[in-house]
Amino acid sequence: MHRKIALAAVAAASAVVLAACGGSGGGSSSSSAAGGQGDCPGADAFCIGLVTDTGKVDDKSFNQSAWEGALEAASATGGYAKYVETVDPKDYENNINQFIQAQYDVIVTVGFLMGEASIAAAKANPNVQFIGVDQFQGEEIPNLTGLVFPEDKAGYAAGYLAGLMTKTGKIGAVLGTDTVPPVKLFGEGYKAGALAANPSVEVTLVYHAPDNAFNDPEWGAAEAKKQLAQGADIIFGAGGNTGNGALIEIAKAPGAGESIFCIGVDTDQFFTVPQAATCLLTSAEKKLTLGTRTLIEQAQAGTRKGGNYFGLTGLAPYHDTEAAVPDDVKAKVAEVIAGLDAGTIMTNVTL
């Protein structure tokens, strides 16, 4: 008995520690030159540093879109781009400092949670330009621009489409934590849009607990399954890997792409989560890559301003589910997106 217990205990300990360490993705090495990617060769070159939030640079969501924007900007400006991935949120400052010490010109910090570290670094280093992706700036700091998006508009458009498309009259959403405002704006915008399209639709929103909110695909999958079992036929997944877990689960459901659909978030997830392509109706897109690229180019040109820069939102193409969406629905949704952009349609979402 002892031996078995000891073996079990050691196995349990190993499993716990390994689980705590988290998965290690196969990201590309930042030293291998590809496009404008590589080490900063010196003070004369235009160098772009990017610090990810806790998560990998190939997370198929936020970090990845911002990194792609940095790469595009690097090739457009003839500069160099490099990233550091954050493992422990206590290291935000240290990771930003790696780039400051190496005299990078622009430092992109990705994610809402890095907001305070970015502000502190920007204040301490007035000669370095900072771009805070998804970081709303309450106070204007000249060398820091927050790249923010009207997520409620993107969510509203997705919800409007879902409200028109649902057959069961029930739709759902599996979301990262509601303590992060952009996530809540997506969720509440989705609900408002769905109700605008169809006042009798039943919308279920479920938010993850704050801890590990964006990297819990198992939870996302389980919640998606639950909502499907309750009769939801369209589910919006928004929250990094947690949302991706929901999308992938829905793609496995019988009728996926015919009577069951999923909606992605942030980027066109047809490309970033191909496993979900069969059910993916569209994605509530933040044009993150474009926004990051634009701000970096502005930084190089000297036209970047402090405060907030509002990026564009929209819905990604329908791709494989194109045929399943009636033409009149497409027309109505396009009309709503135009109205949102023009400001003639208000989402009326407040936090």
Partner 1 sequence: MSTTDPARTDLGFTDPDPRRGGPLDRLPAIVIPVVSVLLAFAIGGILIWLQGVNPFQAYYVLFSNALGTTEGLLRVMQKSTPLILTGLAVTVGLRAGLFNIGAQGQLLVAALGTAWAGYNFQMPMVLHIPVALVFGMLCGAAWASIAGALRAYRSVSEVITTIMLNSIAIALVDYLASEPFKEPDQPLTRTPEIAPTAMLPTFGIVPSGFLIAIVVAIVFGWLLSRTTQGFRFNTVGLNPSAARYAGISVKGTILLAMAVSGALAGMGGAIETLGVTGRFEPAFNAGLGFDGITIALLARANPIATIPAAILIGTLRSGAAALQFQTGIEPEVVDVILAITLLLVSAPIVARLLFRKRNIKQTQVTQGWGS
116 and 58 Cβ atoms separated by less than 8 Å = no
Interface characters, 279-318, with partner 1 (x: CB under 8 A): ----------------------------------------
Handedness of CA 304, 301, 287, 144 (dihedral sign): negative
Determine which residue in the list 50, 180, 276, 340 makes contact with partner 1, applying CB under 8 A: 180
Number of residues forming the site for partner 1 (CB under 8 A): 53
Considering the complex, state which of residue 4 and residue 167 has its C-beta at the smaller distance from partner 1: 4
The DSSP H or E segment spanning 284 is: strand 280-286
Q: Residue 215 has what DSSP assignment?
A: S
Considering the complex, state which of residue 97 and residue 168 has its C-beta at the smaller distance from partner 1: 97
Considering the complex, state which of residue 23 and residue 255 has its C-beta at the smaller distance from partner 1: 23
Residues 6+ apart with CB under 8 A from 273: 60, 244, 247, 248, 264, 280
Pairwise CA distance, residues 274 & 6, whole Å:
43
Q: Residue 37 has what DSSP assignment?
A: B
Residues 6+ apart with CB under 8 A from 200: 169
CB of 296 to partner 1, least distance (A): 19
Of 1-60, binders to partner 1 (CB under 8 A) are 1-10, 12-14, 16-18, 20-22, 24-25, 27, 29-32, 54, 56
Closest residue by Cα to residue 186 from 212, 208, 157:
157
Pairwise CA distance, residues 198 & 322, whole Å:
21
Pairwise CA distance, residues 169 & 92, whole Å:
44
Of 61-120, binders to partner 1 (CB under 8 A) are 82, 84-91, 94-95, 97-99, 102, 113
Closest residue by Cα to residue 215 from 26, 11, 49, 62:
62
* Backbone phi and psi for residue 236, each to the nearest 5 degrees, phi listed first: -100, 125
Decide: is 139 part of the binding site for partner 1 (CB under 8 A): no
How is residue 232 written in tokens? 């939801």
Decide: is 327 part of the binding site for partner 1 (CB under 8 A): no
CB of 31 to partner 1, least distance (A): 4
CB of 323 to partner 1, least distance (A): 41
CB of 272 to partner 1, least distance (A): 20
Interface characters, 200-239, with partner 1 (x: CB under 8 A): ---------xxxx---------------------------
- Binding positions for partner 1, rule: CB under 8 A: 1-10, 12-14, 16-18, 20-22, 24-25, 27, 29-32, 54, 56, 82, 84-91, 94-95, 97-99, 102, 113, 177, 179-181, 209-212, 351
